[in-house]
Amino acid sequence: MNSMRAAERETTLCRFGLLGPLEIRIGDRQVHLRAPKQRTLLAALLVSAGRTVTTGELVDHLWDGELPSNGRGALHVHMTRLRKSLGAPEADELIRTVPEGYRAVLPPGSSDLQRFDQALQEAVLARRRADLPAEAELLAAARSLWRGPALVDVPSEVLCRDAVPALRERFLQASERYFEVSLLLGRHARILPELRETALRNTYRERFWCQLMLALYRCDRQAEALAAYREAQGRLNDELGIGPGDSLVRTHQAVLTGSAALFDVAAGAPAAAPGSHESGGGAWHVLCQLPPDQALVGRDRLCDQVAAAAAPAGTLPAPPVVVLCGGPGTGKTALAVRTGHRLRHLFPEGQWYVRLREADGRAREPGAVLAQLLTASGADAVPGTLEEKASALRTRLADRRVLMILDDAADAEQVTPLLPGTSGCSVLITSYASLPALGTECGTRSFALDALSPAAALTMLETVLGGARVAAEPEAARQLAALCGRRPLALRIAATRLADRPDRPLSASVADLTGPDRLSRLAVGAGRRTAVRAAFEVPYQELGPAAAALFRLLPLIPGPDFSPSTARALAGLAPEDSDRHLDRLTALHLLSRSRRGRLSLPVLLRLYAAERSRIEDSAQERAAAYERLRGWCWATATSAAAARCPDPVRLGQEPDERGEVSPAVFENAAAATDWLDAERPTLLAMAEAAAVRGPHAAAWQLADVLRDYLWYRRHHEDALRFALAGHAAALRAGDRRAVAVMRTGLGLAEVGRGRAGRGRLQLQRALTGLREARDTRYRIMGLHGLGLAARLENRTTESVHFFHRALHLAVDTEAQYVVGPVRRSLASALHDLGSFDAAKTQLCLALRDDQRLGITHTRAEILGQQGLIAADLGNRAAARTLFTRAVVAAEEEPSGLRDRLTALVGLARLDVALANPARAVSRLEQPLAAADATLRMHALNALGEARLSEGEPVAAVGHHTRALRMAHALGQARGACEARTGLALAHAAVGDGRQAVRQALAAVRACEQAGLAVARARALHAAAVATRADGRHHDASDYARSALELSRALGLGPLETAPTPGSGAGPGNRAA
């Protein structure tokens, strides 16, 4: 108790309450977190105080599988708000950012959970020195910390499922021990009221009822003790349809007969009431068979969850059965053993460890296992049949506290006869398979193990090799972990081989594992626990012939993951057959399935499958499978492109759709886009392979089919790789037209990446080749790309020239699907030049053309651009209507997130103009967390304007400075002009007139060079404000006059704020 009181004196600065409603006190200030996600975030960190909680774990806590589009960005926003709510500097000390996520660092005793744990630890020490009064006092103090159900006001299903039950179990175990000690001390009358209340609240926990009956009997209230038994019996029967357990029945019998044992203080709780170590089949042998605890890395949180699930709860009549499943070498056994050691004090009558496979991997017969267990536990005889053996084991385990670890189970049929029947026992099962049938029979709790995180994999290497050796070669260590697939077995083997040779650098092991026979090098023996290949052989041998054949072909699919349809096309199977085999592979964890239904083959299993294919399949079979896959992917990609934009003009012939497996057909553009998003890595890998190995036409045809999709989705880096592959293939094939078309793709990709100079050179060379080939369609795209490059190089007037040329050529040749993108780009450039009427005309025509062609995805972008023009002209009501319509239109499109967020930035700036900066800040939360850097830049500028309007010019300077750095990195002249204009106004508000003038004049010069008339008017207005703040009133009047003249010439509205510039349209078939 002294240490607890000392801790309390040391933690007056901050106090947290988790054992009940969430409570927070910082110093003398009570903090109320009204936002549910802030409460969830803080609770998740506090429950794991002192331990790193990864970003992925926190995202799961906040959204439980319903992830936002940018989960990490949204998490950062909520973390920033939480820190602000807690207040600095306490928040920075309490919540620390670490490489893998975040960590709560609490002073000792600052949370009631810490004080609860401290009290329990001191109670254990008191128990060891036989100081029962001190133990009772400590347990009472621990129980008093609970103010109700833990985290009762924290709305997180993940915490309620994983953390809260474990906390409640610890409370109930502490309560059981408290009442037991109190009975030993003769305090039965004192504890009677709270013991009765506890028993009524925990009906299924029979030990409380036994203790209640004992306390009543000792208070000379035998009739009430019998009544308590009848109440417990009735509740169990009414609610569960079962009778009381043996311990409760024995206590009832003792009360009926007035057994002297009920007054024996040594009897304590009814768990030790009348009964003996003799069992109906012979004496009981206590077996402590747990193997030595192994180093376990990266599984702390999972170990906590497994221990909580496996602890004997007593709330249900059946024993907890926990299944640890996962692929070979993922550390299932190590986790089970670690959990067993953590729980062994709860199972004084035995901890059993049973291997369910022979050394060669064959599954053991359950009858043989039962015979072994019966004999080892002291049974006089072993029955003959399987059913009799199972019954005999259940009889011997009845009402005993025994932990069973059943390692390496093959299936539910093998495990079911081994399970105990009463709640005193707990069972931990490890298996390659998930054992769903076992869950149906006895309600198991399953935990799946996968590869370690990158940080945990490095830690595992450090545990074997030492931190200094890993730190000396950090890059080689990361490569070694990746080559081992971050699987514990492979990591341990690789590290063990290195440990035997202290002079061997890690880079040498990396070189060995990069070679052709990695699996042979990942072995230190021939057994399943010492060789990766041997570990993989066991689940592989359990596959049927067809599933095994599919498994062997899967390495032919390039890319990180694939869909079931892709696997079906590879194998040439019917859907029902393919799905059945894939289900079997995932059940054995030879394949991983994501929440989105995507499948992946882990790196070492990919090597093993390819090795088996070389042994069991012919080269002709593999070649035929790959050709099926390639043909299906090209045909489906073409189908998806047609669903997005039904333009018949393509480079090369249409694919033959009469293959063994028909290509996918898409109901709409959104479904096609989803498929392309998912399969993009696979298609890219196939294009790059075709560029090298052939057929060469496949490389440039894929690049051509996907170019417009890649531009629209802003996958410019991938677009460059596609175009490079297609260009190399076209050069090898000597196809001059294809070379010119691929150069167009290279130029557009470079422009999209912000490399305007490189893009312009490629596009100019492409146009020369396209004129020779008389290819009008691709010439339009090249001219459009040159216009976009000119805009990126701040040559707005020249960009309008290129856009007009592209538009005239598109109209003349009736290239209807290309007209819309060109019009949108032209409108954006005209807007920047201040030609509002011409810009509005182009947008109206673009909207009309898209509606006629059935194109819907561009509606939000066009409405947003119209809203920008209306805002510039001072028509705020019309601008608000247009931005609002843009938001609604974007929400109707699965891929309309960016257009929606852009419209929100426009609405936020209108809020600032209408003197509602708080609402503007609220609107900007999502754009500030967006993945798109250009959008974040505009949102930062808008946030700076809002902060200035709120009277926080220093904060505004910070936001505009960040936006300016981003604009320079992106080559965004308009964003830079916006940022400098905002900085000028903010510095002027601070009183730094000199810096304000410098920023304003730089903005004016940049706008003049880029031809940005609208932005220049605002910069001139900022220059007037800045020079006035600097005391140069004559210059201020000149700048104000220039701003007013330009504003009137352009027809602009008030210059207090600036809407976001339009983003322009893409160069190709922006049709979906």
Tens-place pLDDT, residues 462-481: 989 998 999 999 999 999 99
Phi and psi angles of residue 129, each rounded to the nearest 5 degrees, phi first = -95, 15
pLDDT of residue 196: 92
Is the pLDDT score of 653 beyond 60?
A: no
Q: What are the sequence ranges of the domains in the chain?
A: 1-185, 300-449, 465-530, 543-617, 856-1050
Query: Among 456, 509, 451, which residue's Cα sits nearest to residue 295?
Result: 456
Higher pLDDT, 163 or 272: 163
At 477 the pLDDT is: 93
pLDDT band at 699 (very low <50, low <70, confident <90, very high): very high
CA distances from 137 to 123, 130, 921 (A): 8, 13, 53
Helix, strand or coil, per DSSP, at residue 952: coil
Nearest-angstrom CA–CA distance, 512 and 987: 60
According to DSSP, residue 639 is labeled H
The pTM for the full model equals: 0.66
Structure confidence at residue 557 (pLDDT):
92
Q: Is the dihedral of CA 198, 200, 204, 209 positive or negative?
A: positive
Please report how many Cα atoms fall inside a 13 Å half-sphere around the Cα of residue 348, on the Cβ side: 4
Answer with the residue of higher pLDDT: 298 or 567: 567
pLDDT reported for residue 416: 92
Confidence of residue 195 (pLDDT cuts 50, 70, 90): very high
Q: What is the pLDDT of residues 332-342, one digit of tens each?
A: 999 999 999 98
Amino acid (one-letter) located at 799: S
Whether 261 has a pLDDT exceeding 70, the answer reads: no
Q: Does residue 259 have a pLDDT over 80? A: no
Look at the block and give the residue holding tokens 């026992």.
425
Q: Mean pLDDT over residues 810-830, rounded?
A: 86
Is 817 a residue whose pLDDT tops 90? no
Dihedral sign computed on CA atoms, order 383, 384, 389, 395: negative
Closest CA to 676 of 623, 719, 647: 719
What integer pLDDT is reported at residue 1063 of this predicted model? 38
* 886-943 pLDDT tens trace: 989 888 876 678 888 888 999 998 888 888 888 888 888 888 887 788 888 999 999 9
For residues 978 and 940, the answer to whether their CB atoms sit within 8 Å is no
**Which of 1.25.40.10, 3.40.50.720, 3.50.50.60, 3.20.20.70 is the CATH number of 856-1050?**
1.25.40.10
pLDDT the model gives residue 583: 93
SS3 string, 540-584, reads HHCCCHHHHHHHHHHHHCCCCCECHHHHHHHHCCCHHHHHHHHHH
pLDDT at 267: 33
Closest CA to 1052 of 1020, 1024, 1029: 1020
| CATH no. of 543-617 | 1.10.10.10
Average pLDDT over residues 420-434: 89
Residue 870: alpha-carbon gap to chain centroid: 40
Averaged pLDDT for residues 701-725: 91
- The three-class DSSP label of residue 821 is helix
- At 336, list the tokens: 């089970």
The token pair that represents 608 in the structure block: 């093993």
Q: Is the fold of 543-617 the same as that of 856-1050?
A: no
According to DSSP, the β-strands at 426-431 and 403-409 are parallel
- Cβ-contact 803, 825 below 8 angstroms: yes
Per-residue pLDDT at 161 exceeds 50: yes
* DSSP 8-class letter at 344: G
* Residue 443 pLDDT greater than 50, yes or no: yes
Whole-number pLDDT of residue 69: 62
Options 2.60.120.380, 3.40.640.10, 1.10.10.10, 3.50.30.30; CATH for 1-185 is: 1.10.10.10
Asked whether residue 240 carries a pLDDT value surpassing 80, the answer given is no
89 cis-preceded (ω within 30 degrees of 0):
yes
pLDDT at residue 92, rounded to an integer: 67
- Model confidence at 67, pLDDT cuts 50, 70, 90, reads low
Round to whole Å and give the CA distance between 895 and 64: 23
CATH superfamily of domain region 300-449: P-loop containing nucleotide triphosphate hydrolases (3.40.50.300)
For residue 438, the model assigns a pLDDT of 85
Q: If you ran DSSP here, which 8-state letter would residue 267 be given?
A: G
**Structure confidence by residue, pLDDT tens digits, 888-901:** 988 887 667 888 88
The CA distance from 357 to 414, in Å, is 10
User: 344-398, pLDDT tens digit by residue?
Assistant: 888 888 899 999 998 878 899 999 999 999 988 888 888 889 999 999 999 999 8
How far CA 955 is from CA of 697, 909, 949, 958, 960, in Å, comes to: 56, 17, 11, 5, 9
Is a pLDDT exceeding 50 seen at residue 995? yes
* Range in 86-90, 230-234, 810-814 with the lowest mean pLDDT: 86-90
Q: What is the percent of the chain where pLDDT is above 90?
A: 41
Question: Does position 620 have pLDDT exceeding 50, yes or no?
Answer: yes
Instruction: Indicate whether 529 pLDDT > 80.
Output: no
- Upper half-sphere CA count for residue 976 (Cβ side, 13 Å): 21
List the structure tokens of 247: 């311990």
Kindly state the average pLDDT of the residues 73-85: 84
Closest CA to 139 of 121, 112, 164: 121
Task: Work out the mean pLDDT of the chain and round it to a whole number.
Answer: 85
In degrees and rounded to multiples of 5, residue 23 shows phi and psi of -125, 140
Which amino acid is present at 40?
A: T
